[in-house]
Amino acid sequence: MFKKILIANRGEIALRIIRSCKELGVETVAVYSEADRDSLHVKFADEAVCIGPPPSRESYLNIPRLIAAAEITNSDAIHPGYGFLAENAQFSEICESSGIKFIGPRPAMITAMGDKALAKETMRNAGIPVVPGSDGIIEDLAEAKKMAESIGYPVIIKATAGGGGKGMRLAWSPDEFERQFQMARTEAEAAFGNGSVYIEKYVEQPRHIEFQVLGDQYGEVIHLGERECSIQRRHQKLIEESPSPFMDAELREKMGAAAIKGSKSVKYEGAGTIEFLVDKNRNFYFMEMNTRIQVEHPVTEQVVGLDLVREQIAVAAGAKVSKKKLRQVGHAIECRVNAEDPSKGFRPNPGTISGFHTPGGYGVRTDTHAYAGYTIPPYYDSLIAKQIAFGATREEVVDRMYRALEEFVIEGVATTIPFHMKVMKDARFRKGDFDTHFLDSFNFSD
């Protein structure tokens, strides 16, 4: 086991990782920007190193400063969390060459799965169904148009370096194709410094269902069931749950086998997620693989009874994943509580939290780095808490989530709590009858 782990992240996930390390008896080093001096992850770690000014590229994205912090503290491993450098192959490589274990996959794997067009090709070659579309990137407008015709409208144009729903554009007909194609390229260039795009069939009324996988250093991979992530706004997840209300044993068996086969074909090591789109006829298609711990990992933890961060650290230290039969008991839901105002188009709302009280009681878990008096800096994402509820049945858990959200007090900044409460009372949500368009027709304001 490692002696000391540096956590190259901030916010709730940094705290989440520190908690698992403490239980494992591993020392922790927090890093922080000048804007995060008063953050809980800094207070809870054994040591803390300031790595620079507030902008991410000068702190949480600054590889030399992170490596220096690991070296001066004698850390033998780095946990990247999610976002920032979690899927940066160069970072993983520099850790490796500096003799520091990167808790995540090897550089080549991050590269292979990070390029979405290449990842699709790899999975197709492994025999996994992928969304029909272009083979690799498409440069030329005329070629792209021809490709769209042959795939059949509607099509979706996606950035190969994409993430967070950016650089993604829909075209319903040939008339709007050119405009959307150019927009996707411009957006991708601006967001990722890489304007490469590829084209996919737009799966209509899809559900986003993903599988959690865990691979060890000896080629073994297991899956830990699925997460339903169809409640999205602008292709960004807001509510996740496990199991998916759409799932049955037969589909789980098929999709789980595909997730394992795909991961084994690339000798995947660590915690990862295989994302699928599922159409109304239960056809499923590989969409992408995330080579890190996901924001929504707690819903899996609550139904499978495993601490995923602990498992992730254990496999990085050389442990084997056990091939025990998947135990998926009960139901869990997560609501992402963001400092955003749902009545004003989810406008970010940084500021100081004047009053803060987290819910408690049976079947409730709150992962947060916030507290009364905490100031949410404007530089980073707006996630301030993950509210999780779990229990025996979905119906019970939806009611429990409503009760928990009602208890959750956050004063001083607008949050998405009122939005989540409305969803918990929505008849379609309660029935489990939704797809990724659920929020398109949702009334956010009253």
Question: Mind telling me the catalytic residues?
Answer: 292
CA distance 77 to 3: 8
Cα 309 from chain centre = 14
Interaction between residue 131 and ligand ADP (CB under 6 A): yes
Check residue 130 and report its DSSP letter: B
The interface with ligand ADP within residues 167-186 (CB under 6 A) comprises 168
Interaction between residue 228 and ligand ADP (CB under 6 A): no
* Nearest CB to ligand ADP, comparing residues 358 and 436: 436
List Cα–Cα distances, 225 to 242, 255, 259, 329, in angstroms: 8, 9, 10, 11
Q: Which of 70, 277, 278, 364 binds ligand ADP (CB under 6 A)?
A: 277
Q: Which of 203, 214, 271, 293 binds ligand ADP (CB under 6 A)?
A: 203
CA distance 154 to 145: 12
Q: Which of 287, 308, 332, 404 binds ligand ADP (CB under 6 A)?
A: 287
Interaction between residue 206 and ligand ADP (CB under 6 A): yes
Interaction between residue 156 and ligand ADP (CB under 6 A): yes
Helix ranges (H only) for 343-416 are: 394-407
Express the helix, strand and coil content of the chain in percent, nearest 5 each: 35, 30, 35
* Distance of closest approach, residue 162 Cβ to ligand ADP, in angstroms: 4
Other residues' Cβ atoms within 10 Å of the Cβ of residue 110 = 22
Interaction between residue 256 and ligand ADP (CB under 6 A): no
Which range, of 93-101, 156-164, 311-319, 374-382, touches ligand ADP by CB under 6 A?
156-164
Q: What is the rounded end-to-end Cα distance, in angstroms, of the chain? A: 52
Interaction between residue 208 and ligand ADP (CB under 6 A): yes
Count residues binding ligand ADP (CB under 6 A): 20
List Cα–Cα distances, 101 to 20, 120, 224, 316, 352, in angstroms: 17, 28, 24, 8, 37
Interaction between residue 232 and ligand ADP (CB under 6 A): yes
Q: 275: which 2 tokens?
A: 């994302």
CA distance 273 to 275: 6
Q: 137: which 2 tokens?
A: 């990137």
Which range, of 45-53, 161-169, 343-351, 378-386, touches ligand ADP by CB under 6 A?
161-169
Interaction between residue 163 and ligand ADP (CB under 6 A): yes
Interaction between residue 272 and ligand ADP (CB under 6 A): no
Interaction between residue 288 and ligand ADP (CB under 6 A): yes
Residues that bind ligand ADP (CB under 6 A): 131, 156, 162-165, 168, 200-203, 206, 208, 232, 235, 275, 277, 287-288, 436
